[in-house]
Amino acid sequence: MRIETYDTTLRDGSQGEGVNFSLQDKLAITAKLDELGFDLIEGGYPLSNQKDEEYFQRVADMDLKHAKVAAFGMTRRKGIAAEDDIGMQALRDSLAPVCTVVGKTWDLHVTEVLRVDLEENLAMIRDSVAFLVAEGRRVVYDAEHFFDGLHDNPDYTLSTLQAAQEAGAQIAVLCDTNGGRLPEHIVAGIEVAQKTLSIPIGIHCHNDSDVATANTLAAVEQGAVHVQGTINGIGERCGNADLITVCANLALKCGHELLTENGVQHLTELSRYVYEIANMNFRPGQPYVGNSAFAHKGGMHVHAVNRISQSYEHIDPEAVGNERRVLVSELSGRSNIVAKTTQFKLQHDNELMANILARVQELEAEGYQFEAAEASFDLLVKKVAGTYQQRFERMHYRVNVETTEGDEPITEATIKLKVNNHTEHVVAEGDGPVNALDSALRKALTPAHPSLARMHLVDYKVRVINSTEGTAARVRVVIESADQHDVWSTVGVSENIIEASWLALLDSVEYKLYKDEGELGNGTEIAGT
C-alpha cells in the first residue's frame, strides 16, 4: 500500500528548543525533501511572521518534482466570516496548493482555551474548510488533541471530524498532540474514526511518551494512509514522530510503498543534512541512521557479523545509506582489529594485529578512547605499522589569555613549526585557547597544504578521567572536524587541557592530510556531498 508522507519539519519541527531555520534553510530543506520523494511539505504558517510569508512566495518559483507544499493555519476566529478572517486570507494568498487547517476536537480546548461554545467551534471548522475548498485548495484537516477528546467526550470529538468531512476536507489527520497516548489507544481511536468517516485517515504523533514512532506504525497497521512527522523527530517539548525511522520501518519492515524508488536509501543523508542546517549535533544512537546504529564493539559480535551480517544487524546498513562501523577499545578482540585495518591491507599480519591491540589497550589505560575517535585510531595503525610519516615538527607553542576589567578576554596563540625544512612562526587570535591554537596551526600549515583552508572544527568535548585527582586530573579531549566531504574525530589526553586539545588538533590535521592523499579511509560522509 502506498503511504502518503507529510513532513512538518519546517513548521512543527522549528518549534523545538534551539531550532531556528532561516528562509534559505527552509528552501534548501524543501528541495532535499522533494528530491527524496516526500509527498507533502508543510512550509509554515503564513500569518505568523514575514519569513514564512516570504517562504511561500519563493517556493512557488521552485521546480519541485514530486512534493506539494502545504500552508498551515487555524480555523477562522469566532464571530467572523471565513472570507473576512485574516488567517483564512493568509492561507488563500499563500497560493499553496494544499492547506492544512487545525481545529479543536477536545471540548476542554473549545470551552476553556478558545472560550467559544461547542456549536460555534463546529461552525468554525466547517466554514474554514469550505472556504479553502471553494478557493480550489486541497484541505488537510488536523484534528488537534483527537485522542484526548475522544477519551473525554467521544460524541463531540467525532462531530468535529464530521464537520470537516462535510465541508470538503480530503483527509482527517488524528493528532496525539500531547504525546501521552500508547499504541492501543491509537488503534482504538483510528477504529472509531473509520466507522465515522468516509474520507482517508492520517496520523500525527508527538513523542512525550517516547512511542511516537510506535504509535504511527500502529495507526498505519490499523488503516491510516497518511503519516506526519519531522526529520530526526525535532519539535516542541519531546519532539514529533521521527519520519526517518517511520519511513524506514514502513518501507523495510512493513512492505509499504513511499518516497521515490530509492528515497529510503538516502535517509541517512537526509538526517545529517537537516542536523547540519539546524546546527545540531548528530544523535549517535538514532535508529537506522545514527553513527552508532550499526557499530560493533565486542569482539564476539564483530567476529560473528563479519561471517554473517544479519547475526547482529537487523538490516543491511546500506539500505538506508548508513555503514557498518567496528569500534576499537580495551574490550576489542583480534576480530575488531582485523576488521578495522582491512583498508590498510594488514589483516594477514598476526603479529602486527597483536601489536596494534596491545597499543590500544596501553593507551586506553592512560585515558584514551578510540571508539569515538576513529581518525586517531587510523593514525595509530600507521604508527605501529611503521608507515607513518611526520608532515611537520612542533618546535613550541604558547597560548596567552589577557583580560582587563570590563573587557572580553583576548586569546592569542603563538606556534613555531618546521614544515618542509622551513620554520613557520605564526600568531593567531581566537575565541578561546583551542580556537586560537587551531587558527594558528592551520595558518602555519596552509601555505604548504592549501586543503587545510577547507577544514573546520565541528565539535569539542572534554571529559575528566580521574576526577579524584582534583585540578591535577587527566582530561580527555575529543575534537570533531570536517571538510566539504567528510567528518572525523580525534582524541588527546593530558593533565593539561591545552596539551590534550593540541594533541587532538594534531591528529585532526594529520588525518586530513593523509586522507587528501588517499592514504586513509574516509570518515563519516557528510550529507549531500
pLDDT digits (tens, 9 = 90+) for 121-163: 999 999 999 999 999 999 999 999 999 999 999 999 999 999 9
Question: 377 or 134: which carries more pLDDT confidence?
Answer: 134
Cell numbers 528530491: residue: 35
Specify the pLDDT at position 260: 95
Q: What mean pLDDT is predicted for residues 523-528?
A: 44
Specify the pLDDT at position 372: 67
Q: Given its phi and psi angles, is residue 80 left (phi above 0), alpha (psi -120 to 50 degrees) or beta? A: beta
The C-alpha atoms of residue 158 and residue 196 are separated, in whole angstroms, by: 7
Specify the pLDDT at position 514: 87
Specify the pLDDT at position 228: 98
In the chain, count H helices and then E strands: 17, 17
State residue 104 phi and psi, 5-degree precision: -80, 125
Q: What mean pLDDT is predicted for residues 288-293?
A: 86
Question: 378 or 187: which carries more pLDDT confidence?
Answer: 187
Specify the pLDDT at position 526: 41
Cell numbers 576513529: residue: 374
Estimate the crossing angle of helix 350-365 against helix 374-385, to 10 degrees: 130
pLDDT exceeds cutoff 80 at 404: no
Specify the pLDDT at position 169: 98
pLDDT exceeds cutoff 70 at 529: no
pLDDT band for position 181 (50/70/90)? very high
Q: What structural domains does the chain harbor?
A: 4-259 (3.20.20.70), 295-371 (no CATH), 392-448 (3.30.160)
Cell numbers 583480534: residue: 334
- pLDDT tens sequence across 36-47: 999 999 999 998
Q: Among residues 121, 127, 168, which one has the least CA distance to residue 149? A: 121
* Mean of per-residue pLDDT scores for the chain: 88
Specify the pLDDT at position 419: 86
pLDDT band for position 410 (50/70/90)? confident
Specify the pLDDT at position 337: 62
CB 321 within 8 A of CB 528: no
Question: 430 or 218: which carries more pLDDT confidence?
Answer: 218
SS3 51: helix
Q: What mean pLDDT is predicted for residues 380-385?
A: 86
Q: What mean pLDDT is predicted for residues 280-300?
A: 79
pLDDT band for position 467 (50/70/90)? low
Q: Among residues 489, 490, 399, which one has the least CA distance to residue 437? A: 399
Specify the pLDDT at position 524: 45
Percent of the chain with pLDDT over 70: 88
Q: What mean pLDDT is predicted for residues 201-210?
A: 98
pLDDT band for position 303 (50/70/90)? low
Specify the pLDDT at position 58: 93
Specify the pLDDT at position 47: 87
Specify the pLDDT at position 4: 98
Q: What mean pLDDT is predicted for residues 448-459?
A: 86
Q: What mean pLDDT is predicted for residues 284-310?
A: 72
The C-alpha atoms of residue 285 and residue 291 are separated, in whole angstroms, by: 7
Q: What mean pLDDT is predicted for residues 54-66?
A: 94
Specify the pLDDT at position 343: 56
